[in-house]
Each structure stands twice: as C-alpha cells, then as structure tokens.
Chain A
C-alpha cells in the first residue's frame, strides 16, 4: 500500500515537473513556431498551434533586410572579447585575493559586488557622454569595454570561490617539490582550476551575449550585436511578429546550443563553486 503511494507520488511529481518545464519553455517554443508563420497567421485569433502554412520566408527577409551574419559576428566579438579581457583581469585579482588575502579582501569583494546592485540606467547619461566624447559610440571596442566592466565583479567572485577551494597545502607541496611560481602555475594550479575557469567563461559569455541595456543604448548599426538586431523589428511602423520571432530565434540559437552542450559546467558555475 505504502509502496503504491510512493509510485503514485513519483508519477504525479514527474508529470508535474514536465508540465512546469513545458510551461517555462512554451514562450520559446511559441516564438520558434511563430517564426515559421506568415505575418497574418502570427497574430491570428484564435492562434493556430501546429496547423498553419509553414514558411521560411521570414528568415530570408530578415537576412536580406538586416545582415544576420554581421550582427552575429558582432555578438561573438563583443561577448568573446569582453569575456577574454575580464578573465585576464580577474584571474590575477581573484588569485591574489584567494591565496594571499589581507584584512581588506572581504571589503573589496563586497564593494565589487555592490557595483552590480546599482541600476545601470543611473549611469547611462554620463557613460553616453563619455563615449560620445571619445568617439566610442557604436564601436565594438566600446561595447567590449562596458560589458567587460559590467561582468567583472561576477567573474572575480566566481573565480575567487573556485580558487579558494584549491587547498593551500597542494600549492605548498609543489613549492617543496622544487616548483618555481611559474611552474607551480602551469603544472599544478591551472589544471586544478580548469573546471572553474571553464564554467566562469561560459557563464560570462552567456551574460555578455544576452546583455541588452548597454548594447541597445550604445550601438546602432556598425557595432550592433544581435540584441539590437532583434530590437530593430519592433519599429514605430508596427510590430512584425513573425519576423521578430525569426530574428529572435536566430539570435538565441547559438547560445542555446552552447548552453545545451555545457549544462553540467553551467550548473556548477551558477552555484558559484559551492557544489563539487
């Protein structure tokens, strides 16, 4: 009797979990479906779910009207570049804080995190003016710079918690074994830190890829990444649901694929190294 109750429970909770999962996924599915509809069908009431006239014309139009590959390339450069620079700054920073902390290390970490609590719109005007003065508006380097700074606190925090997990004894053992600082880094620390570095990199890539506030405000066409590309389909002349959907599908596809293949690393990254 008790056994049956547990089986029932399992069945119910399984169905529940799938339902919840489907519910969360539904908007994305709806967007993908809409991207294959004609503009008319896209906002037809009642909406047709699967039985509509499937078409790929939206994709062709989108590519023709606003060069997808150009924006995708911008996204790759901006997300990749900002991640790379953030890592280059964050690795030594997190390293020194994890392995030779001072009295103020905790304060510095908290201060860095506190910058993430400020709404970015609060500094939009000054940043915009600075960018204008230095000719950084609508430039890739400008976006790389701002996204790198925006994500730096999180990157340092993640790496700090990963480095903290590496036992000091092991580094000291390497020192006793005759390793110089450089070799200790290459042979012992880096191999042990690779999972942490990988998930930090991945998470930062995704954050930078999805970042819309700064990219929308500081770029128009030349440096515009996919976020701007999507936004360009909600125009004053009205919404083009089907085209907007196909643009969005195109924009999220690369990151969705990347996320799918790196789920495990990502979960580790999101728990900030708390779960081994």
Chain B
C-alpha cells in the first residue's frame, strides 16, 4: 500500500513561506507529477514527504498514519535524486543492496533481490563496477535500482532525468513509466518539464509560489485549467491570452486560446488579423508567430505543412468551443 495524504502542509524557512498550506490526496499505485516553475516549492514538498525536511505545520499521512515525526528511514519511501547520489565507494551491487543491508536482510537474500533488480534495469554486466565507471544513463538506472529493490510504499523522484541528454531522457521517461506500471507502486515525480508531466502522470499537481494551483489528470488540466497560471503553464507552445474588447465580447476579462485551436486563413478578414513575424516549419507542424497589432503576439499551430512566410498577412479565428474565459483575478469562468 502507498496512499499518501497531505493535510494543510506548511513549510517556512525563517520568515519565508515556501509551502503555504498544501492539501493533496494521492491514491495507491498512482503516478503523480509535481510540476511548476523553479522556486515554486515542488522539490520542498517532495522533501517534506520524504522527511528530509520537517514540516512547519499540517499533517502527512502515509496509509493513514501521520508521519511528520517519523524519520525518513522509517517512512518506507525511497527516493531517486537529481544528482543520482550514488555511494562513490561502493560497487553497483553495494549501492543497490545498501538499503536491504540496513534493513538487516541475509546476504544471499540481498544478492538475490539485487540481481533481480539489476536484471530488470539491464545492469547485470555492471554489478561489480564503481559508479564512476558508468555513464550518466547507467548511473541513473542504478539510482532507480536502489529505489525499487526495497519494495517501498512509494517512489519519490526529484527531477531524475534532468542531467541526461535529450534522447536518453525520452527513453528513460518511457522506462520509468513502464516500470512504475509494472510494479504498481505509488510514485511522486518532480519536474519542471511540462512535457514530462503530461506524458508520465496519472495526475498532475501544478504548483506556483508555494500553492497548489490545480490537481488533476493531464487532459483535465489541458482542457479545463482553473486559472491563468495553469492555462499558461500546461501546453506547448503556450496558450495565447487576449484582453480587452475581444474578451469582453465573451463576458470575460481575459480569454485564452491554445495555438492549435486557432484556424489560420491566408489574408482572411473574419478573425483576428495579423502579420507573420516568424514561421517555423517542422514538416509535421507549422508554428506561426503572428504580430496581432493591438492583440499582441499570437502563436498559431497548424498540423502539417503550411507554406506561409514572414510578412504574409493572415487572420486567426479561435474555435468557439475552445475559448477559455478568465475573470479579473485570473480564475476560470465556467459556463
């Protein structure tokens, strides 16, 4: 079991409030991603759950038991660090088996479990090497092996892929997701990369300035963002925001339209007129950065190739049922 519940969790360092009251319910076996800009408190929240930081207020329940006074070693969680944090003086075998050794397991049982974990992660040939003799991807695997071998209640991942190159990151992303599904262990994963969040999560927690802005499935966040921050943070390229007359027509202070929900017409007159300032042709997609005059810069996405060039006049029409409306304080207006 690995059900984790946060009740009004707070953390401050001196006068600075890092976490301003977080409530969260993470069900057993789910993959939850904390995402947000740097300094939003996502890593702090993870460290509070791990027990590496003490809460300033509130409760953290693991399987119904309040653990705020339990040291990290006794919480039954395992963690994968951004820096891998492997023990440099131990072999891969020693690294993976360290937690089991601390738990007082018999030697052959440790060996059996370490070898099984190593096999899952394709680390068998490297068991007797030291961390410094491994590549970045292999070190990351060892760190993951160290986490899974203990069969914890939950895995905590602190930006584990950010030190890898782009290609390896995509591959490891898949592996981590697959492994988590296969083991069925609860996972909390911290990242600032919203693509990682969207692709890996069952549920995403969007954090901003120490507060949970929204908690929901990736598509919920994409389709029904609670506020301007979530709307702007989830989705790539970013949602376009328009204020003024066009927003008022919709009964809102700000309206938001995703680039992929703008219909592009060459020289048309029906929608929002503008001039292309940059056109990115990827083959599969075309991204247009349009100077919309009083509307500001707008981004539009077309699936497939659209032969338009900088300087061309276009008009952009938002799909009517894809317009997000926000009030003066930035909260979504739901019909």
A17 within 8 A of B: no
Q: Which residues of B contact A174 (CB under 8 A)?
A: 87, 98
Give the number of chain B interface residues (Cβ < 8 Å). Answer: 24
Task: Report chain A residues within 8 Å CB of B87.
Answer: 170, 173-174, 188, 192
CB-nearest residue of chain B to A176: B79
Which of B51, B71, B79, B89 is in CB contact (< 8 Å) with A173?
A: B79
Asked if A179 contacts B88 (CB within 8 A), the reply is no
A63 at the interface (CB under 8 A from B): no
- Bits for B26-55, please: 1 = Cβ < 8 Å to A, else 0: 000000000000000000000000111000
- Are B85 and A169 in contact, CB atoms less than 8 angstroms apart? yes
- The answer, yes or no, to whether B137 is at the interface (CB within 8 Å) is no
A176, B72: Cβ atoms under 8 Å? yes
Question: Which of B52, B86, B102, B146 lies in contact with A172, CB distance below 8 A?
Answer: B52
Residues of A within 8 A of B83 (CB): 167, 169
**B50: chain A residues within 8 A (beta carbon):** 176
> Min CB distance, B21 to chain A, in Å?
25
Cβ contact within 8 Å between A175 and B73? yes
- Residues of chain B with a CB closer than 8 A to A178's CB: 73-74, 99, 102-103, 150
Closest to B104 in A: A178
B99 close to A192 (CB less than 8 A) = no
Contact assessment for A177 and B146 in the assembled complex, using a CB-CB cutoff below 8 Å: yes
Closest B residue to A177 using CB positions = B99
Q: Of all chain A residues, which has the CB nearest B152?
A: A176
CA distance A169 to B159 in the complex (A): 13
- Please give, as numbers and ranges, the residues of chain B lying within 8 Å of A173 by CB-CB distance: 79, 81, 85-87, 146
Selected from A172, A180, A183, the residue in CB contact (under 8 A) with B85 is: A172
Q: Name the interface residues of B74-123: CB closer than 8 Å to any CB of A.
A: 74, 77-79, 81-83, 85-89, 98-99, 102-103
Min CB distance B148 to A, Å, is 12
Instruction: Count how many chain A residues have C-beta atoms less than 8 Å from C-beta atoms of the other chain.
Output: 17
A27 proximal to B (CB < 8 A): no
Q: What are the residues of chain A within 8 A of B71 when measuring CB–CB?
A: 175
Mark each residue of chain A from 162 to 206: 1 if its CB lies under 8 Å from any CB of chain B, else 0. Answer: 000001011011111111100100011001100000000000000
Least Cβ–Cβ distance between A244 and chain B, in angstroms:
48
**Are A175 and B72 in contact (CB-based, < 8 A)?**
yes
Least Cβ–Cβ distance between A178 and chain B, in angstroms: 4
B150 lies within 8 A of A177 (CB):
yes
Smallest Cβ-Cβ distance to A188: which chain B residue? B87
Bound-state CA distance A96–B331 (Å) is 47
Q: Is the CB of A179 within 8 A of B102?
A: yes
Shortest CB distance A173–B (Å): 4
CB pairs A–B below 8 angstroms (25 shown)? A167-B85, A169-B81, A169-B83, A169-B85, A170-B85, A170-B88, A172-B52, A172-B72, A173-B86, A174-B98, A175-B72, A176-B50, A176-B72, A176-B77, A177-B78, A177-B98, A177-B146, A177-B150, A178-B73, A178-B99, A179-B73, A179-B98, A180-B73, A187-B98, A188-B87
A interface list, Cβ under 8 A from B: 167, 169-170, 172-180, 183, 187-188, 191-192
Knowing that A177-B73, A179-B102 touch, tell me 9 more A-B residue pairs with CB under 8 angstroms: A172-B52, A172-B81, A173-B81, A174-B87, A174-B98, A175-B73, A176-B52, A177-B98, A178-B103
